[in-house]
């Protein structure tokens, strides 16, 4: 059930009706963070979800020093303060650059919707061949 479905169902209920919902704590935490504008410190992927643009673009901006207070953790992943991201988005909007609208569902899957994989097939003589887009 999506948030929109849940919200729609709540509209049909009376004010005194009780509702019991079971969900994972991580899902609740993510929903609360998104409702408040995202977590206080976010990854480049979270910044892309909340503000638009790609996670690669957010990494480039962090590396270039455009996000005040950004740092790399022990794995080398960038951590971006939410308010600094919001400030950068404000600067970009003032300069006329708008965030591209994220594509729901496609980007969440972690798969590249454009690039198709080339499949490896085995032949009867033991060789393998690849078929697919080049």
pLDDT digits (tens, 9 = 90+) for 52-92: 889 999 999 999 999 999 999 999 999 999 999 999 999 98
**45 belongs to a structural domain:** yes
CA distance 9 to 5: 6
What range does the domain containing 79 cover? 40-102
Residue for token pair 């504008």: 37
What's the CATH number where 51 sits? 1.10.1660.10
Q: Residue 22: pLDDT above 60?
A: yes
Helix/strand/coil for 121: strand
Q: Kindly report the number of other CB atoms within 10 A of residue 38's CB atom.
A: 19
Q: What is the pTM of this model?
A: 0.51
Q: Is the model's pLDDT at 114 over the cut of 90?
A: no
Give a yes or no: residue 84 inside a domain. yes
Phi and psi torsions of 39, nearest 5°: -70, 160
Residue 56's pLDDT is 93
Which residue is listed with tokens 């206080």? 40
Residue 133, number of CB atoms within 10 A of its CB? 7
Query: What pLDDT, on a 0 to 100 scale, did the predictor assign at position 69?
Result: 93
Whether 129 maps to a domain, the answer reads no
């Amino acid at each position: 059930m999506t948030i929109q479905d849940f919200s729609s169902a709540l509209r049909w209920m009376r004010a005194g009706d009780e509702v019991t919902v079971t969900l994972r704590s991580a899902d609740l935490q993510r929903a609360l963070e998104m409702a408040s504008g995202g977590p206080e410190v976010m990854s480049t992927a979270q910044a892309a979800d909340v503000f638009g643009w790609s996670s690669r673009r957010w990494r480039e901006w962090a590396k270039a020093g455009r996000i005040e207070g950004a740092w790399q953790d022990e794995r080398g992943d960038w951590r971006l303060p939410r308010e600094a991201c919001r400030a950068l988005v404000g600067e970009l909007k003032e300069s006329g650059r708008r965030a591209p609208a994220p594509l729901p569902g496609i980007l969440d899957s972690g798969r590249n919707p454009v690039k198709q994989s080339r499949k490896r097939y085995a032949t009867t003589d033991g060789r393998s061949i690849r078929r697919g887009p080049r």
